[in-house]
Amino acid sequence: MSYVEAINETRSELRELYKAVPAATQGFSALSKAVKDSGPLSVKEKEYVALGMAVALRCEPCINFHVEALMKAGATREELGDVLAMAIQMGGGPTLMYSAHALACWDELATKG
């Protein structure tokens, strides 16, 4: 499955979850918006933190969404590589493997642009 397909499938699954448990998912959405809309860090910087955590926690759908968000926030592939290098340093071998997923996702999304 391509990263684009995976992102679309996750979005479809989330739509169903939002219908099933609207209070919880609306609460999560409100938290996400509040975090992104306040504080001294830019959205791009916050997305880099989120991506580093997604890689370290090995959440492929999170990786895909945060890579996509970084592209929309004006990130570069070089910046992504620097963040992934830091994640690898902090997380070791498993983080190395998920960093490769994040980079592959970036490359696929960049060609679909």
* Residues 33-77: tens digit of each pLDDT: 999 999 999 999 999 999 999 998 999 999 999 999 999 999 999
C-alpha distance from residue 63 to each of 30, 42, 66 (Å): 20, 19, 5
Name the CATH architecture for the domain at 3-112: Up-down Bundle (1.20)
Helices (H) and strands (E) in the chain, counts: 5, 0
pLDDT at position 28: 95
Full-model pTM:
0.86
Q: What is the distance between the alpha carbons of residues 13 and 8, in angstroms, rounded to a whole number?
A: 9
pLDDT at position 63: 97
pLDDT at position 67: 97
pLDDT at position 9: 97
Q: What is the distance between the alpha carbons of residues 92 and 56, in angstroms, rounded to a whole number?
A: 9
In this prediction, residue 112 has a pLDDT band, given cuts at 50, 70 and 90, of confident
pLDDT at position 79: 97
